[in-house]
Amino acid sequence: MTKPKLLVARQLPKTPMKKIYDYFDVVDISQTEQTNEQMMKAAQGCHAILVGDRLDQPLIDALPESIKIASTMSVGFDHIDVAAANARGIIVCNTPSVLDNATAEIALLCMLGAARGVKYGQQQIEAGDWGQLGDSAPLGIDVIGKKIAIVGMGRIGRTFAKLCRGLSMEVHYHNRSKLSADLEHGAIYHASLAELLPHAQFLSIHAGLSAATKHMIDEKAIAVLPDGAVLINTSRGDLVVDDAVIAALKSGKLFAAGLDVFTNEPDINPEYTKLNNVFLLPHVGSATFETRDAMGNRAAENLIHYFDGKPPISVVKL
């Protein structure tokens, strides 16, 4: 039987990649510069795409009619123009649910690292300059018993809320709709972001990126946070306005921030790296062996299910 032809723009971990090579006739461009022209040329005769960094409208419009499905090894799909793909009859698949725990753990790490001034402590050790412990040394803030405000109570947000409840935090949230009681677990719902923010001693963002949510945490939003709040973002960098966050960190309006995602990463705003009251990670929310294998398997299985005549496991729906 003739294998379907797959354009691979991104390598998966070893185990799911073996599934790909066993099932498909692979055209691998993952190690090459992926200009639209090169990708269009490589896509000729292909039936599917394992998406890399982007799949934008100009590329989608130029793809051959033979391509019917695109799979990405990520939950987020803002690097794909899903509407343009769907208009061409191309199904787009992602990998939700398999990275909930890993990403929630990183959000917890960012919260604790920011609250306890980990960057300052690392700098002291690296410089061999612990100094004298005393009231004048930079101090962190307690987390246990504080209020945590969560923007976006999907699977990752709910998993993070569970961890916060383990720290006896009072959980508040804003979501597109109120959760059922069995999913809320006592969390307090706020119908708007404006209603949520005054409660946010800690603010953790778990919303998807869209036209409606881009730059949702701006100067105006930060102004209504409690003084000395801590910001955590493990979702997408463009959900916040960098200049507003940096200004608030410098002024003390924000006590600290724990960030795993950034606008224009990896070329982030250099002002972040100059601050002591930040805890910065290089977008590693899903970076565990177990989670990356699970994501790769889901990305592969979405494609294999489709060509086996079964519905893909995770289809992006706008």
Active site residues: 236, 265, 283
Residue in the block written with tokens 């690296």? 126
**160: exposed, middle or buried (Cβ count in 10 Å: 0-12, 13-18, 19+):** buried
Contacts within 8 Å (CB) and 24+ apart, 188-197 = 193/151, 193/221, 194/221, 194/224, 196/149, 196/151, 196/172, 197/149, 197/221, 197/224, 197/225
Is residue 122 within 8 Å of 305, Cβ to Cβ? no
- Name the nearest CA neighbour of 111 among 174, 203, 193, 188: 203
229: tokens are 């709040």
Is residue 292 within 8 Å of 271, Cβ to Cβ? no
What is the spatial distance between Cα 196 and Cα 205, in angstroms, rounded to a whole number? Answer: 12
Is residue 257 within 8 Å of 217, Cβ to Cβ? no
| Residue 25 neighbours by CB under 8 Å, 6+ apart | 2, 3, 4, 5, 6
Q: What is the DSSP string of 90-148?
A: -EEE---STTHHHHHHHHHHHHHHHHTTHHHHHHHHHHT-----STTS------TT-EE
Instruction: Please state the φ and ψ torsions of residue 275, each to the nearest 5 degrees.
Output: -95, 145
